[in-house]
Amino acid sequence: MAAEIGEQPRVFERLLAARSVIAQVGDAVRRAAPRFVLLAARGTSDHAALYGKYLVETRLGLPAGLASPSTLTVYGSRPDLHDVLFVAVSQSGSSPDLVDSTAAARACGALTVAVTNAPDSPLAQVAELQVDVLAGAELAVAATKTYTAELLALHLLLCPGGDPALGRLPEATERTLQADRSSEVADRLRAAARMVVTARGYSYPTAREGALKLMETSYLSAAAFSGADLLHGPMAMIDTDVPVVAVVSPGRGGRAMAPVLERLRERRAPVVQVGPGGGLPVDADGLAEELLPLVEILPLQRLAWRLAVEHGYDPDRPRGLAKITETW
């Protein structure tokens, strides 16, 4: 896991070098002129799909939703999906429910795209179009480089014309990794049995993925909330014994976290901020807000790894988990 976290700058370089190939898939999507976008995924890839949902709604101005594969597989629903783009995101491309729901969506009239790290997988075969995230073999059970590769692949697929700052991404990633302060933060959080991770906007998928990494590798009870949802009830469980990791990066989402941070101070919660100048720093210089999730997850991946090691756990092979999870 530690080595694969460190590989992410090179993964970004590979994907950016292949952007013209992904652009061809994006051109096919735009020619189809979808009226609605559905994204289907499980686990870590579900958080990448949530990021894609934000991109679709803010950059493309289209309504988007996260699909429930069980409606197509368990319940056998066959909705009219003409003029719908159905994007299935999966590291392995092997989970039967994603394969079957993608096949069903295509039969129901959707344009289907598989975003996967396995271009020869069953998912890639049933989809009409596919995007290879080019992350290379990932050996650790907990996904790291495949997650950020999915984020970048979705950005390249969904955002025509790209962003001039994309070229800075490998350097920003390298600088963020070099600014690692996970060891001292882990010292502060070592005794915690439960934790909350929160963010808003584009950073909300980061909060969810960060919480999942902590649960997978350190066996912490880590709950992820949108900052807005945290204020709507869960704030009541916050006290001096519940550390909160708050992702506060530059941009509208970070500014929207101001009232959340104020309430956390009132509750005297131990707060660790992820972002420029935070306890878990991120190099955000020159990056648009929509690109920040690709770097702000890195210190959370490192924190999860370090907490697992300090507790004597094996972060590469968490108990009860396998690299490929098959659900129906």
Residue 74 confidence (pLDDT): 94
pLDDT beneath 50, residues of the chain: none
CA-to-CA distance for 328 and 116, rounded, in angstroms? 18
Helix (H) or strand (E) holding 133, with range, is none
Q: Does any domain span residue 320? A: no
Residue 282 confidence (pLDDT): 97
Q: Can you give the C-alpha Rg of the chain in angstroms? A: 19
Residues 214 and 305 both lie in one domain: yes
Look at residues 113, 134, 162 and tell me which one is the last residue of a structural domain: 162
Residue 231 confidence (pLDDT): 96
> Could you give the number of structural domains in the chain?
2
Residue 327 confidence (pLDDT): 83
Helices then strands, counting H and E runs in the chain, come out as 16, 9
115 CA to centre of own chain: 13
Helix (H) or strand (E) holding 292, with range, is none
Residue 161 confidence (pLDDT): 77
Q: Does any domain span residue 87? A: yes
- CATH code where residue 270 lies: 3.40.50.10490
User: pLDDT tens, 219-230?
Assistant: 999 999 999 999
Residue 323 confidence (pLDDT): 78
Q: Does any domain span residue 118? A: yes
Instruction: Evaluate whether 276 touches 284 at the Cβ level (below 8 Å).
Output: yes
Residues 150 and 215 both lie in one domain: no
Q: What pTM was estimated for this model as a whole?
A: 0.97
Contacts of 310 by beta carbon, 8 Å cutoff, 6+ apart: 186, 190
Q: Does any domain span residue 326? A: no
CA-to-CA distance for 315 and 328, rounded, in angstroms? 27
Residues 12 and 157 both lie in one domain: yes
Residues 237 and 256 both lie in one domain: yes
> Which residue range(s) make up the domain with 218?
168-310
Q: Does any domain span residue 328? A: no
Residue 234, number of CB atoms within 10 A of its CB: 13
Strands 194-199 and 221-226: parallel
CA distances from 126 to 29, 88, 150 (A): 17, 11, 19
Residues 12 and 158 both lie in one domain: yes
